[in-house]
Structure 1
Amino acid sequence: MRILVTNDDGIFSEGIYQLAKALIPLGEVIVVAPNKEQSATGHSITLHRPLRVSNTKFFDTELEAHAIDGTPVDCVKVAVEAILKDRKPDIVVSGINNGPNLGTDVIYSGTVSAAVEAAILEIPSIAVSMATTKIDTFKDAAEFACRIAKSIHQLYRSKVGIVNINYPTCRRESIQGIKITSLGIRRYSSSLIERKDPRGDSYYWISGKAMDLEEAEDSDVMAVKNNFISITPIHFDLTHFKDLDSLRRMNFKV
C-alpha cells in the first residue's frame, strides 16, 4: 500500500513524525507537507504565486519527504498530480493535528481539508487530531491510525470516503472505547481580541474559547468529552437535500 502523509502543523511537527513512523509497516510512506504551520487555512489553494517544493530530510528516517511553501490542500494536489503522478497513493493520512477538529471545526481545518482534497481526487483519506493541545505524546494516536488505515482503504476501495478521527488526550488506560459519531457543533466565545497599534489604529486577533453547548449523544464532541475515540465519516457534498423540494415548490421566475 502506498500512503501519502500530510498535515497542517508543518513538516517538522511531532504529530506528523509519529504518524509517518507508525505507518511504515503498512507499505511505502511518502511525506508531503507544508514547510511551516498552516493551521485553520481550510480548503484554500495558492493561485497567485508559484509553489516551491524542497526535498527534505525527515527527522531520523529515510522516508521520501517534500516540504511545500503552501497550504495542506496545495500539498495534496502537488503530491498527487506532480510528485506522485506515476505512483498514485492508495490512501492519504493527514495529521496528527495538535488540537481537536470536532464538529464545525472541520470547515476551517487544514488537516481535514487535506483529507477532503484527497477524496476529491478519488483517494480514500483519514484525518487524525488530538482532543486538546495539552499533549504528552502522539504515539498512541499514531498507532491507532495505523491499525485502522488498512480497513479504511478496503472500505472505500469502490466508493471514495473520508474518516475524521479525534483521539482523547487522557492516559491510554482511561480511554473508554471507540464511537462512530456524527459532527457536533463548535462555537467560540470572545472570538475577536482588539488591540491598538502605535498610531492608535485597531487591529484584531481571532481567538476565543470553545463554548460548552448541548450536544447530541452521538456527536464527536460528546464522545471525546467522555474519553472515547471518535470516528466520523464525512463528505464534501454540502447540498442541503431536505430543502430541495421546498425551494422547487417556490417556483421562482426569471
Structure 2
Amino acid sequence: MANNGFDLARARVLISNDDGINAPGLKVLERVAQAVAREVWVVAPETEQSAVGHSLTRRRPLRIREVAQRRFAVDGTPTDSVLLAVRQIMADNPPDIVFSGVNYGGNLCDDVTYSGTVAAAMEATLLGVPAVAFSLVTDGAAIIHWETAEKWAPEVLGRLCAAGWPAAVVMNVNFPNLPARAVTGIQATSQGGGKAGQGMTASTDPHGEAIYWLGTEAHGERIRAGEDVEAVHRGAISITPLSLDLTDGPTLTALKASLR
C-alpha cells in the first residue's frame, strides 16, 4: 500500500495484540474492524505478553487453538501470532491490513521498543502487510475509557487509509484516556524522548530475599511540542509513523566519509 490510498471497506483485516485473546481492548478493536471492514480475523496470544518486544519463539513448538470461527489463540508472543496468522492460518488468502491492540496502556516515547503491541504491527509490516498499532494511555487510572478508542478509531483509520503510507512504516496510534467528547483532535507526531514507565521498585519476598518490580513508577517523559506524549497529555490522539529502517542517515554519511 506504499503511498497509495486503501479501501478499508473491502479489506480482510487481521487483529492481534499483546494483552491476550481475552483482553477488553482486543474486543474493542474487533468491533471497530467489524464495523468498517469486509472480513475480520483474530489471531492473538493465549496469555498476556506485555513488554515482550519483537521476540520470536525459537526453542519450543507453538500451538494454535481455534476459539471460534476466524478467531485463534497462539501460545506464544505477538510476533509469533502474526507470523502464524499470515503464513499458516490465513496463508491461502493473507490479510490486507493488520490492527494491533487496543493496548491497555500507552506506547509512547522509548516504550515502543518494548511493546508487544507495536511489535505485532512491525511483524506484519516485515511480512509485507500494512499495519496500525493502537494503545490507550491509561497511566494507572481507575476509570478506563475504552469507548474513546472505539468511537475515534474509525475516523483515525479512515484518514490513514485514505492517505496511505510507505511500505516500511508502522503507524502507532495512542488515545488519551478521556471521555470521547473531551478528545481535542487527531495529531501527527514524532516519537518522544525519554524512557517512559520503566521505573524500578525494590522489595523483599516472604523469605527475605530481594526482589524487584519493573515498570511500576509513574511516567517521567520529557514533554516537547510535536511529540507523541505531549499530544496525548493535551487530550489529542497521537499518530506516529515508525520506520523499520533503523539506519541513522547522518551518521552513515559521516562514517562513509571517515572510511574513505
> TM-score scaled by structure 1?
0.89
| Distance in 1 of aligned mates of 2:94 and 2:212 | 42
Structure 2 vs 1, CA of residues 201 and 178 (structure 1 numbering), >3 Å: closer, same or farther?
Answer: same
Which residue among 108, 111, 119 is the counterpart of 1:105? 111
CA deviations 1:136-185 (Å, max 9, x no partner) are: 33233133223343553454477353211100111222111111100002
Structure 1 contact 188–208 (Cα < 8 Å) conserved? no
| Distance in 2 of aligned mates of 1:69 and 1:87 | 23
Segments of 5+ residues of structure 1 without an aligned counterpart are: 58-62
Which residue among 78, 86, 91 is the counterpart of 1:80? 86
Structure 2 vs 1, CA of residues 96 and 184 (structure 1 numbering), >3 Å: closer, same or farther?
Answer: same
Structure 2 vs 1, CA of residues 152 and 89 (structure 1 numbering), >3 Å: closer, same or farther?
Answer: farther
Q: In structure 2, what residue type is equivalent to 1:3?
A: V
> TM-score scaled by structure 2?
0.87
Q: In structure 1, what residue type is equivalent to 2:154?
A: C
Question: Runs of 4 or more off by more than 6 Å in structure 1?
Answer: none
CA deviations 1:4-29 (Å, max 9, x no partner) are: 00110011011101110121131100
User: Aligned residue for 1:60?
Assistant: none
| Distance in 2 of aligned mates of 1:74 and 1:213 | 31
Structure 2 vs 1, CA of residues 214 and 200 (structure 1 numbering), >3 Å: closer, same or farther?
Answer: closer
Which residue among 222, 227, 233 is the counterpart of 1:225? 233
The Cα RMSD (Å) is: 2.1
Segments of 5+ residues of structure 2 without an aligned counterpart are: 1-10
Structure 2 vs 1, CA of residues 93 and 174 (structure 1 numbering), >3 Å: closer, same or farther?
Answer: same
Q: In structure 1, what residue type is equivalent to 2:148?
A: D
| Distance in 2 of aligned mates of 1:33 and 1:213 | 30
What's the % identity of the aligned pairs?
38
CA deviations 1:198-219 (Å, max 9, x no partner) are: 5554332213424444332000
| Distance in 1 of aligned mates of 2:64 and 2:162 | 31
Q: In structure 2, what residue type is equivalent to 1:207?
A: G
| Distance in 1 of aligned mates of 2:198 and 2:246 | 28
| Distance in 2 of aligned mates of 1:161 and 1:225 | 24
